[in-house]
Structure 1
Amino acid sequence: MIDRRFVGAALRPYTVTVERERLIRYAAAIGLSAAAFSDLGAARAAGYPDLPLPPALLAGLERDEPGDFLAKMGVRLTDVRHVEQGFTHHAQVHAGDVLTFAPVITDIRVRGPLRFVVRETAVTRAGEPVAELRQVILVPAGDEAFGGEER
């Protein structure tokens, strides 16, 4: 069941290769009209080695969805809500980069009948920091959210 003993739990790291076509689709979907986000020649002319990744897309590359770690805590996924997301960026990412995501449960806060689970993910490229991602998930207390009595 969900409790503070999960704080500090490191989830399995994984790698993602940034795909050029995904960057092009994302840029179009959010209305980035600058050619550097969709045309390799324009990106190189702007000084990039390949298409640059819009920073918010890092969250979209996170493969380890909240359900993976919440299910291990005994939480029913139909009862959770996404509350907050944040990013700290250290380096520009480009198409072709291989990124490693290393998520950790950094906090579980209790506010009355609510539990807030905080997951922070370090993103690196060849061992160098690229970004830190932060996500807060709301888990309501109660038998239906926890699949039984909460501890």
Structure 2
Amino acid sequence: MVDQSAVGHRFTPVTADVEPGRLRYFFETLGESNLVYRDAAAAEAAGYKGIPIPPTYLFCLEMLDNDKPFEFLTALDIDLGKVLHGEQSFTYHAPVVVGDKLTFQSSVASVADKKGGAMTLIVVETAVTNQHGVHVADTARTIVVRNG
């Protein structure tokens, strides 16, 4: 089981660039055909400063550009074979577009044992800021750890 002392633990910040090639590949994988996501002029005509990212792309950026993507689990001495990604949420405060440089600062928000200690739910919250210091988004993910 994960100790309650983990609550508040802050992890090493992760910095990621919103690169056009990687984003284009993501859209192709999804089959996204909306020009707003493919053409800068269409994005600007829709009111964006550039090609925007889709809502869930922040999770991809944080994981892809993190040289220690499971640091928060290994730091808590959790066996990765007993982990399940349970839930993810995204709250945007400002648009994120191609060319932005983002910093992800994560911390453990809560730890709760469930089912009589058979599993533990860990909520990790992440604040995302851009290269201008603007707080553009918050994410929260629930990690399920099978105990025993």
Q: TM-score band (shorter)? A: 0.7 to 0.9
- SS state at 2:51 partner: coil
Alpha-carbon shift at residue 13 of structure 1 (Å): 1.1
- Contact 2:85–2:143 under 8 Å retained in 1: yes
Alignment TM-score, normalising by the size of structure 1: 0.86
Aligned pairs, number: 142
Residue of structure 1 aligned with 2:83, choices 62, 71, 80: 80
Structure 1 residues 88-147: Cα deviation after superposition (integer angstroms, max 9, x where no partner): 1111110000111000011100112111111000001122111111111111111xxxxx
Tell whether the 8 Å contact from 2:14 to 2:62 is kept in structure 1 after alignment: no
Q: Helix, strand or coil: the match of 1:2?
A: coil
2:74 is aligned, of 66, 71, 76, to 71
Scaled by the length of structure 2, what TM-score is found? 0.88
**Aligned: 1:119 with 2:124:** yes
The answer for the alignment partner of 2:61 in structure 1 is 61
Match of 1:139 in 2: 145
Identity %: 39
Partner of 1:26: 26
Q: Is the 8 A contact 2:37 2:51 kept in 1?
A: yes
- RMSD after superposition: 1.6
Letter of the aligned partner of 1:140 in structure 2? R
Does residue 110 (structure 1) correspond to residue 113 (structure 2)? The answer is: yes
SS of equivalent to 2:136: strand
